[in-house]
Amino acid sequence: MSDLGRRTLDWFGFGSHGHAGHDHDHHGPHSHTHGIIDATIATTDRGIWAIKWSFVILAVTAAMQMAVVVVSGSVALLADTIHNIGDATTAIPLWVAFMLARRKPSSTFTYGLGRVEDLAGIVIVLIILFSAIVAGYQAIERLIHPQAVTHLGWLTAAGIVGFLGNEAVAVFRIRIGREINSAALVADGYHARTDGLTSLAVIIGAIGVWLRFPLADPIIGLLITVAIFAIVWQSARSVLTRMLDGVEPGVMAEIHHAGEHVPGAHIVDAKARWIGHKLHADIAIAADETLPLAEANKITTALENELFEHMPALATANIRFSSEHDVHEHPHPHDHNHGEHHDHQH
């Protein structure tokens, strides 16, 4: 199947999710699609596709604004245009990350290079932080040394173009990023949203100047700087949480909820972490040591299927039996790592 065909299938929701040699489609509660496309390739193709189109939208937006800069000679609009050009360049670390994530695991990187997405997220957060510092500096500078703003009609039109372009990219990147569970792509989407607010500030500043209040532009610039810093904090917390193997509280709740659907699969210990936009889980379940091997395999297989049904982003689930002795020795659900156990990995 061609790359275009894969992207088309994935766009309409027909891409499959491969797990341990199987491809599972989790768009329905009992649907299973086999052999269409590996999940990692599907999601990274989707991510690269989103980045390319985001870059195109931002490039067109910056080009239109630059044309207005040439006509109006507005320094404020020139700064906003340069900012949008800088935002387009954030596609570069994300593109590199998604390309590297497609590489297969090696003897050195046994889990693959999915964590490069987290590094890209850190780079993007730093770019947002730099943008906030620059915006704050410019706002304070204009409060101290006010500058005349001219060609207000052209300035307003260019601000509208900047806002619409950035908001389109923001919605696009955040939606795709959440679909493929990429914190880096979501962070870049919020970055684009802050840029749209910056463009709105140009419009509101122009209105303020038209109403003969020249300090409106730097005051609004300071308010937007505060908003940008808030998004820096939000994005940094999300990316750093994943880099430190943190997961959202709902992830563990879903794992235990899946175990409740399988008779005999009492989960006594569970761990999970993100590697790129794929989730990896290690689970221990309590079981009678006298249980026949065939019955034990049925329990682990049923639990595996339930986990994949409840968690489409799950890539692997390593399930082991924790002996009755271990359960009594370690009454707390997260202290079952040192006792004797039988491993059943799926």
CATH number for the domain running over 249-345 = 3.30.70.1350
Q: What is the pLDDT at residue 248?
A: 83
Q: Which residues make up the CATH 3.30.70.1350 domain(s) of the chain?
A: 249-345
Q: What is the pLDDT of residues 121-148, one digit of tens each?
A: 898 888 888 877 877 887 788 788 877 7
Rounded percentage of the chain residues whose pLDDT exceeds 70: 78
Pairing of strands 278-286, 314-322: parallel
319 bridge partner residues: 283, 344
Higher local confidence (pLDDT), 328 or 113: 113
Q: What is the pLDDT of residues 28-56, one digit of tens each?
A: 333 333 333 345 555 677 878 888 888 89
Higher local confidence (pLDDT), 36 or 184: 184
Return d(Cα 191, Cα 200) in angstroms, integer: 15
Q: What is the pLDDT of residues 292-315, one digit of tens each?
A: 888 888 888 999 998 988 888 888
In this predicted structure, the answer to whether residue 343 has a pLDDT above a threshold of 60 is no
Q: Which residues make up the CATH 1.20.1510.10 domain(s) of the chain?
A: 38-243
Band of pLDDT at residue 249, cut at 50, 70 and 90: confident
Q: What is the pLDDT at residue 1?
A: 40
In this predicted structure, the answer to whether residue 345 has a pLDDT above a threshold of 60 is no
In this predicted structure, the answer to whether residue 168 has a pLDDT above a threshold of 90 is yes
In this predicted structure, the answer to whether residue 3 has a pLDDT above a threshold of 80 is no
- pLDDT averaged over the chain? 75
Higher local confidence (pLDDT), 291 or 65: 65
Task: List the 314-322 sheet strands across, edge first.
Answer: 266-275, 278-286, 314-322, 341-345
CB 166 within 8 A of CB 189: no
Return d(Cα 150, Cα 152) in angstroms, integer: 5
Q: What is the pLDDT at residue 337?
A: 39
User: Taking residues 201-228, what's their average pLDDT?
Assistant: 80
Q: Which CATH superfamily is domain 38-243 in?
A: Cation efflux protein transmembrane domain (1.20.1510.10)
Q: What is the pLDDT at residue 323?
A: 63
Predicted TM-score (pTM) of this structure: 0.66
CB 279 within 8 A of CB 181: yes
Burial class (CB in 10 A: 0-12, 13-18, 19+), 294: exposed
Asked whether the CA dihedral 60, 64, 70, 75 is positive or negative, the reply is negative
**CA-based nearest residue to 219, from 155, 135, 134:** 135
Band of pLDDT at residue 336, cut at 50, 70 and 90: very low
Q: How many CA atoms lie within 13 A of 15 on its CB side?
A: 25
User: Taking residues 9-29, what's their average pLDDT?
Assistant: 35
In this predicted structure, the answer to whether residue 85 has a pLDDT above a threshold of 80 is no
User: Taking residues 237-261, what's their average pLDDT?
Assistant: 87
In this predicted structure, the answer to whether residue 324 has a pLDDT above a threshold of 80 is no
Q: What is the pLDDT at residue 61?
A: 92
CB 181 within 8 A of CB 277: yes
